[in-house]
A = this chain, B = another copy of it.
Amino acid sequence: MEKIKRLQQDFATFLEQTDFGGQPKELYEPIAYTILQSGKRLRPMLCLLANDMLGGDEQQALWPALALETFHNFTLIHDDIMDKAPLRRGKETVYQKWNSDIAILSGDAMLAKAFQFALKPKKGAELAQQLGKVAIEICEGQQMDLNFETQKEVTIDDYLEMIRLKTAVLLATALQMGATVAEAKPADIQALYDFGINIGMSFQLQDDILDLYSDVEVFGKRHGGDIADNKKTYLYLKALELAPERDRKRLQQLFALRIDHDEEEKIEEVEAIYDSLDIKGEVEQVIAEYDRKAFQALDSIGLPEERKRHLRTYAELLSGRRK
């Protein structure tokens, strides 16, 4: 845990010392506002931990870590416009606090900055190619997610592909970049990428569960928000698959309701159907399978267990295996 804390601190310091730019202030204030908010720094941490595990130079790895965090924050700023989200990490979103023109433009500048940061260390061209690939995948994932809102038939495979593109590939790329800047063997870079995809899938599916089955106080989101928003999550799609005809029809009806309907009542009714089918148990099985594959990939890397310890601990914290 000492190592994890130290890397977190090093990244925080590096971020604070970064000059994102100054004028015109309408462009740069939203960037500072977004990136200096304390997030989990999940992606930079995966990058730094992968690099550390493989014996890379931390000073070099801070650049892709910064690129990843800048890139991730760009996606948040643009996604919040599309999702009309009023709040992010408990504070007003950029398009809400300023306006959507400014949110578009500062997001664009952050995307360009992310490439500049990725190009800084050795292996910069390779890191920038990895960033380009994941950037396009994430646009595809976000577009799929937007499509799902109006798309009549969404299959479980569609949904898994969407969360792979929208969430998992960036965690995988964070590990890949850390391994690349450490000049690791291609097989180890690939194993870490696979590890990232699987913990990413697990992570997102847990998020789907937490929407409904979590302590609101701890988790900080409203109970059943996905249901109120008619979000076609894994829970909903699995329930459609397993439910008897009558419940299936009822679910579809409930997910066609607009927000003017009694929210509490709707959430309760959906929850009752989910519980009757043990949807939570179903999703937990799928999550366990992704976790198993993830740690299998990590195990396949030919390094003493001692070297893998920090990354393993961090991933276990994320997956909820370790509290």
Contacts and interface: CB of A to CB of B under 8 A. Distances in A.
A112 B129 contact: no
A269 interface: no
Interface stretch (A3-11, A136-144, A271-279, A312-320): A136-144
Given A112-B111, A115-B128, A26 B139 contact: no
Contacts of A142: 105
A109 B24 contact: no
Contact of A140 (B23, B101, B102): B23
Interface in A130-165: 131-133, 135-136, 139-140, 142-144, 146-147
A81 interface: yes
Per assembly, the copies of the chain total 2
A313 B24 CA distance: 37
Contacts of A107: 108
A76 to B, nearest CB: 13
A133 B147 contact: no
A116 interface: yes
A125 B119 contact: yes
A139 B105 contact: yes
A259 to B, nearest CB: 19
Nearest to A146: B101
B136 A113 contact: yes
A139 B112 CA distance: 10
A113 B140 contact: no
A143 B26 contact: yes
A169 to B, nearest CB: 13
A207 B88 CA distance: 42
A122 to B, nearest CB: 10
Contacts of A178: none
A124 interface: yes
Interface of A: 21, 23-24, 26-27, 78, 81-82, 100-102, 104-109, 111-113, 115-116, 119, 124-125, 128-129, 131-133, 135-136, 139-140, 142-144, 146-147
Given A24-B143, A109-B135, A125-B125, 5 more contacts: A21-B140, A23-B140, A26-B143, A108-B139, A113-B132
13 contacts: A26-B143, A26-B146, A27-B140, A27-B143, A104-B104, A107-B108, A109-B140, A111-B135, A115-B131, A116-B129, A116-B132, A116-B136, A125-B128
